[in-house]
Amino acid sequence: MTNPEEPAQKDHARVKLPPPLLPLATVLAGVGLKALWPLNIGWQLSPLLRHWLGGLVIAGAILGLGLWAVITMRRTGQTENPYQPSTEIVDKGPFRFTRNPMYLQMVIACIGFAILLWNLWILLLTPLCAWALQKSAILPEERYLEEKFGEAYLDYKRRVRRWL
């Protein structure tokens, strides 16, 4: 028998790990691996150029794509928190082009940090980060949204790509 104080099924995606931890782990692992086993890219950018270029990629990802997605969600009365209920399918703003703009911005930010820190390890680990985000966050969210919204969400999936 279930406890009457606990809901039988929580109304949110069953994401097990806070998604921002994955790109953070990617960058930290890349920094650690570079200290242990430096990989030389073979050519150099001036520190000023790589700081500007990497900073622009990071800022574009976080302040551009990420913030745009958060603002779009909040305008619909929803939160970007995967542990809260979704009340509707958001298909405006960046959600017209990608079903996962906030996860995409995390992957792009990893690339920006690879440039900023001139760290090939971060760049090599970024596809693993994208895969881990897909397995640990995107797929549970998609299952939740399919269960909750049914055909409406399946139609959205047919119209909009997962990443780009």
In-domain check, residue 131:
yes
Angle of helix 101-116 versus helix 21-36 axis, rounded to 10: 20
Range of the domain at 152: 46-159
pLDDT given for residue 44 in this prediction = 84
- Joined tokens for residue 19: 């998604």
In-domain check, residue 9:
no
CA Rg, the chain, in Å?
18
Residue given tokens 């703003």 in the structure block: 93
In-domain check, residue 20:
no
In-domain check, residue 143:
yes
Fill in the amino acid letter for 38: P
pLDDT given for residue 9 in this prediction = 56
Fill in the amino acid letter for 110: C
pLDDT given for residue 158 in this prediction = 97
User: Could you give the number of structural domains in the chain?
Assistant: 1
Nearest residue to 111 via CA among 12, 27, 15, 1: 27
- Taking residue 6's Cβ as centre, other Cβ atoms within 10 Å add up to 8
pLDDT given for residue 20 in this prediction = 97
Prediction pTM value: 0.91
In-domain check, residue 119:
yes
pLDDT given for residue 42 in this prediction = 76
In-domain check, residue 133:
yes
Burial of residue 36, with CB atoms counted within 10 A of its CB: 0-12 exposed, 13-18 middle, 19 or more buried: exposed
pLDDT given for residue 1 in this prediction = 37
In-domain check, residue 36:
no
| Residue 18: half-sphere exposure toward Cβ, Cα within 13 Å | 5
* pLDDT (tens place) for every residue of the chain, 164 residues total: 334 444 445 899 999 899 999 999 999 999 999 999 999 877 888 999 999 999 999 999 999 999 999 999 999 999 999 999 999 999 999 999 999 999 999 999 999 999 999 999 999 999 999 999 999 999 999 999 999 999 999 999 999 999 98
- Joined tokens for residue 119: 């760290």
